[in-house]
Amino acid sequence: MQPMLNIAIRAAHAAGDYISRQVNNIPNLEIESKDTNDFVTQVDRNAEHKIIETLLKAYPDHSILAEESGAQGDSEYQWIIDPLDGTTNFLHGFPHFAVSIALAHKGRLEQAVIYDPMKQELFSASRGDGATLNNRRIRVTKPVNIKGALLGTGFPFKQKQHLPAFQSMFADFFGQAGDIRRAGSAALDLAYVAAGRLDAFWEIGLQPWDMAAGSLIIREAGGLVGDFSGNENFLETGNIVAGNPKIFADLTRKLQPHLTESIKA
Ligand code: 2AM
Ligand code: CA
């Protein structure tokens, strides 16, 4: 295994084990609101601290981009970290959240880990080496279009201005897909696309740390990931669509009539 992936896995386990121990302590947590519907606790911060400590102990010169502490360093190696993706689920004891860690070198994603500490499922990938779930090879599913497919999505609960566009996409896709899931952790949704548990996924307005690890894991599982124009800029636009190459093309085409001025790509 790649040494850098090994370190990422060690960091994800340290944070995930800590988070799962804190599940019994949720009623005592002090919850702060970062923004409308955007909550953070000491658990998010402590988990992030454990991850950064583990990574920088092995690679002191590397840069960091993390949800709670932001950007630091100017190395060509950058770790992109979401210490607890699905914080709302965590706060409700709804057992579906994850640690997400990716490594980019000169802007290209090289290593990725998503760890679900409740189910003890570890999704990982190194560029060029394929994707695995608990050391077994995973692949995206084979549907050729949206018809009958199981889609994942997220609601724009923090950016309600996107709600009308989301509703029109939802109504259109819901009429054609088999069904749609909204599980509350974008990182895990992407991991589930890679593992063939969801056929495809789309969401508006995500952050780089929600998507970085999941996007590499999907690509290494044979899928495509892009922005709403089908291009590469999802980490910048925050709008993401993912699935096998055929359903990816179908969804991207079907998104076009629903795009607005603020959701172009
Ligand atoms: P979080 O739990 O770390 O905040 C839910 O839709 C999923 O999308 C979660 O993974 C959540 O991450 C993420 N998310 C991040 N920003 C969002 C936004 N502006 N609107 C909706 N979901 C967002
Ligand atoms: Ca997140």
- Nearest-ligand number for the alpha carbon of 86: 1
Cα 185 to averaged position of ligand 1 atoms, centre (Å): 7
Domain that holds residue 228: 150-264
pLDDT at residue 205, rounded to an integer: 97
Which of 88, 113, 137 is the last residue before a domain boundary? Answer: 137
* Type of residue found at 4: M
Clarify whether residues 121 and 9 are in a common domain.
Answer: yes
Say which CATH number the domain at 207 has.
3.40.190.80
Would you give per-residue pLDDT tens digits along the chain (265 residues)? 799 999 999 999 999 999 999 999 998 888 888 887 788 899 999 999 999 999 999 999 999 999 999 999 999 999 999 999 999 999 999 999 999 999 999 999 999 999 999 999 999 999 999 999 999 999 999 999 999 999 999 999 999 999 999 999 999 999 999 999 999 999 999 999 999 999 999 999 999 999 999 999 999 999 999 999 999 999 999 999 999 999 999 999 999 999 998 898 8
Ligand 1 pocket, Cβ-based, cut-off 6 angstroms:
82, 85-88, 154, 156-159, 184-186, 205-207, 210
Cα 35 to averaged position of ligand 1 atoms, centre (Å): 12
Q: 145 lies in a domain?
A: no
pLDDT at residue 111, rounded to an integer: 98
DSSP E strands, the chain = 32-35, 38-40, 63-66, 70-72, 77-85, 98-105, 108-116, 121-126, 131-133, 136-137, 150-153, 179-181, 200-203, 224-226, 240-243
Q: 85 lies in a domain?
A: yes
Cα 78 to averaged position of ligand 1 atoms, centre (Å): 21
**Residue 196: CB atoms within 10 Å:** 17
Q: 143 lies in a domain?
A: no
- Percent helix / strand / coil, the chain, rounded to 5: 40, 25, 35
pLDDT at residue 212, rounded to an integer: 98
pLDDT at residue 78, rounded to an integer: 98
Cα 155 to averaged position of ligand 1 atoms, centre (Å): 8
Clarify whether residues 164 and 234 are in a common domain.
Answer: yes
Clarify whether residues 132 and 197 are in a common domain.
Answer: no
What is the atom index within ligand 1 of the atom nearest the CA of 85?
3
Which of 76, 110, 137 is the last residue before a domain boundary? Answer: 137
- Nearest-ligand number for the alpha carbon of 97: 1
Q: Rounded CA gap, 260 and 11, in Å?
A: 39
